[in-house]
Amino acid sequence: MSRPPSETASETASQAPSHRQLSLNLFVYPGGHHEAGWRYPGSEPERIVDITYYQELARKAEAAKFDALFFADGPALADNVRYASRFRLEPLTTLSALASVTQKIGLIATASTTYYEPYNLARLFASVDHISGGRVGWNIVTTSAAVAAQNFGLDEHPHHADRYGRAHEFLDVITKLWDSWQDDALVIDPDSGIFADTDRVHQINHIGEHFRVRGPLNLPRSPQGRPVYVQAGSSEDGREFAVRHAEAIFTAHQTLPSAQAFYADIKARARAVGRNPDHLKVLPGISPYIGSTEAEARALHETFNNLTQAPYSLELLRRITGLDLSGHDLDAPFPRHLIAPDGDKAVASRFQLVLDIVDREKPTIRQLTHKLAGARGHWVSVGTPEKIADDIQTWFENGAADGFNVMPPWFHGGFDVFVAEVLPILRKRGLFREDYAGATLRDHFGLPRPESLYASPARQSA
C-alpha cells in the first residue's frame, strides 16, 4: 500500500493481514440504541452513570478484538429525557477510566468544534492519548442541537455554514498544536542537562477569523502523533470537511445502493485531493436484532417497537424534520407535503435520510417512527446470526463500507449475542481479525502515523 512521503507507518501496522478486513467499533449509547432499549428486560439503565458499566463493556469489546469503543456526546440535555436515557458521562473523562482497565482497544470520544476552544481540547485529547498509550480518536462534530447555544452564553445557535467555517479553522489550529512538539524534541539527557530541544518546540502563532492561538501545546507529541480524526455527517459540508480532515467517517444509510453511492463519492473525493482513499475509512452504523430463526428475530424487533412511547418518537421526528405531528393520527400516511425542501434542516444528512425513507416506502407516521426508533436512522438488520453476517459481508465486499459501528439495541445483552453468535461467523469467513496486530488505534485502522507539520525544514522556517 503506497503512502505519501509525509506519512510514516507505525511499525506494528506492517504486521496486519495482507487481505482486507473489517473494522468494527462498539458504539456505546448508554441505554441501548433502540429508543426504548432501557425498558427491555435485562437492560441496566440504573447503571448509566456507573463507570464499571462501561469498563465491563470495554473489557468485553477488547476480548472480542474490536477496533474501538465510540462515545457520542452533546453539550446540552435533550428535552425528551422524560421518556428515555438521554444523559451520559462526559466522554473524555470516561476514556481515561477505560484506558486504565484495557490495553489495546481504541477509544473514541465526541467533542464539538462549536463549543470548545482548540487549546483546551488539544490538551485534553493529548493527555488521554498519552494515558492510553496511543489509542484515542476524536469524533469531530459541529453540534446540531440549537438548545446548546444558551449553555454557552450565546443568544442563538450558529448557522450550519458558520459552524463548518469555524470547524475548518479549529482543525487547522488543533493540528498545529498537536504537532508543535516534534517527535525528537524530548531529549532528557542528565549528562548534558538538556531536557527538551527547544528548537524543536514551536509556537504556532495562529491568527484567523475565529481564533488567535500562540502555542506551543504544553505537552509533548502523543504516541500516535495525533489522535485519529473521525467525523460523522453526510451533508455536502460534512463530506467536504471529511475529505479534508477525517481518517474515519461514521455515516448512516438504510440501503446498499445509498451506502455504495456515499462510499464511492468519498473515495473519489479523497483521490481528487491527493489523499490515499485507504486512509479514509467509511464506517456505517448497523443495529442488529438477532434470533435463532428469522421469525424469532422479527419478534424481538417487534417487542422493542411495542415499547416505544409516542411523545418521545414524535419529538425525535420533529428534531429531524421540523414537523410537529403530535396532533396527527399515527396510522395515517406521513404528510410528505408539509416538509419544506429548502428549510434550515434541508442541508442535514439525517433529514435527507428520513425523506428518502418516506419517498421509498410511503410509511404511516407510526411506521416511520418505528423505523427511526431502532437506531435513529442507522441501518437495522433483523435475522439469524448468519443473515447478519451475510449483510455485513455484502456491504463490505460490494463497495459500501470498510467496517461498521455496531449499535446493539440494548446493553449488555445485545452486544453479548453479537459477539457470541455473529463474530465467529465473520472470523470463519476471514473477514475479522483473530487478534490485534498492533497497539494503537492507528494500527487497528491501518492508518499511518503522521509526521509533525514542523518536521520539514520549510515548515520550521515558516
Could you report the per-residue pLDDT of 420-430, keeping only the tens digit for each?
A: 999 999 999 99
3-class DSSP assignment, residue 450:
strand
Cα–Cα distance for residue pair 128/34, rounded to 1 Å: 30
Beta pairing, strands 194-196 & 186-189: antiparallel
Q: Confidence class of residue 348 from pLDDT cuts 50, 70 and 90?
A: low
Cα–Cα distance for residue pair 65/105, rounded to 1 Å: 7
| Residue list, annotated binding site for FMN | 73, 110, 160, 164, 234-235
Cα–Cα distance for residue pair 433/425, rounded to 1 Å: 12
Q: Confidence class of residue 343 from pLDDT cuts 50, 70 and 90?
A: low
Contacts of 240 (CB under 8 A, 6+ apart): 269
pLDDT at 337 over 90: no
Phi, psi angle pair for 222, to nearest 5° = -80, 170
Q: Confidence class of residue 321 from pLDDT cuts 50, 70 and 90?
A: confident
Please, what are the domains in the chain? 23-293+378-461 (3.20.20.30)
Lowest-confidence region among 73-77, 197-201, 439-443 = 73-77
**What percent of the chain clears pLDDT 70, i.e. is strictly above it?**
92
Cα–Cα distance for residue pair 194/182, rounded to 1 Å: 16
Q: What's this model's pTM, rounded to 2 decimal places?
A: 0.90
| Residue list, annotated binding site | 73, 110, 160, 164, 234-235
Question: Per the structure block, which three cell numbers stand in for 118?
Answer: 482548540
Q: Kindly state the average pLDDT of the residues 88-115.
A: 97
User: Within a 10 A sphere around the Cβ of 422, how many other Cβ atoms?
Assistant: 23
Minimal CA–CA distance to 282: which of 4, 3, 25, 12? Answer: 25
